[in-house]
Amino acid sequence: EAQVTQNPRYLITVTGKKLTVTCSQNMNHEYMSWYRQDPGLGLRQIYYSMNVEVTDKGDVPEGYKVSRKEKRNFPLILESPSPNQTSLYFCASSLTQWGSYEQYFGPGTRLTVT
Amino acid sequence: GIQVEQSPPDLILQEGANSTLRCNFSDSVNNLQWFHQNPWGQLINLFYIPSGTKQNGRLSATTVATERYSLLYISSSQTTDSGVYFCAVLRETSGSRLTFGEGTQLTVNP
């Protein structure tokens, strides 16, 4: 089944404790991205990747890092999480950045930073 | 950047009723998608519809790109249809970042 998977689905952590949220897709998609969803602010893009070893900032990249060492994986790294990073996170992928292609979203990761 | 407006913001229906959700966007787009966010927070792809009409069971969607709007029709609504419906658009000049509307909160009562 074609899908985007994320882990963990739920995470409660403390300020400053490094964490990684994994994202994987099995559709051989070139383009992957991360969004966060917050009440009143909607969904905002954090980072995106056009292909392996190619990443760039989205609208709200502060406090996050990403890497794209393999085509299928695009982990989101919070080096020193803070309470304002409490949010619902989504990973998404599409065939390529260029042209008009459907984007597929993972199931979401609900992160709470205390 | 492109603006996406959805209406109505809230909608309450009785089971079995029909509804129409609207999405207006401020500029030409290369991609338009409809999503359903269920009560568990998952974003479910409903339609990829940059233009034309599509149907999937009780749901259908129409996008009139020249007039910059899209409609999502839900017929014979069920309680499981409850949740938030998002319209999202993409302009190729902005890379592949989807711009989401604020959503329509749908509640279907038994």
The residue ranking higher by pLDDT, A97 or A36, is A36
Interface of B with A in 47-66 (CB under 8 A): 48, 50
The answer to which of A4-13, A97-106, B95-104 has the lowest mean pLDDT is: A97-106
pLDDT of B94: 62
Facing A98 at nearest CB: one of B86, B92, B103: B92
Confirm or reject contact between B94 and chain A (CB < 8 A). Answer: no
Three-state secondary structure call for residue A99: coil
- Chain A residue closest in CA terms to B4: A42
The residue ranking higher by pLDDT, A2 or A55, is A55
**What is the nearest CA distance from A7 to chain B, expressed in angstroms?**
14
Q: How far apart are CA A112 and CA A21, in angstroms?
A: 13
* pLDDT at position A77 over 80: yes
The predicted model gives A46-72 an average pLDDT of: 95
Q: Which percentage of chain A shows pLDDT scores above 90?
A: 89
The predicted model gives A49-53 an average pLDDT of: 92
Confirm or reject contact between A102 and chain B (CB < 8 A). Answer: yes
Query: What confidence tens digit (pLDDT) does each residue in A89-101 have?
Result: 999 999 987 767 8
CA atoms within 13 A on the CB side of B85: 29
pLDDT of A99: 66
pLDDT along chain B (110 residues), means of 10: 95 97 94 94 94 97 97 97 95 78 96
pLDDT of A69: 97
Residues with Cβ within 8 Å of B88's Cβ and at least 6 positions away in sequence, in order, are A43, A103, B4, B32, B33, B34, B35, B98, B99, B100, B101
pLDDT of A97: 72
Cross-sheet strand order for the sheet of A19-25: A4-7, A19-25, A76-78, A65-66
The predicted model gives A55-77 an average pLDDT of: 96
Q: How far apart are CA A21 and CA A77, in angstroms?
A: 6
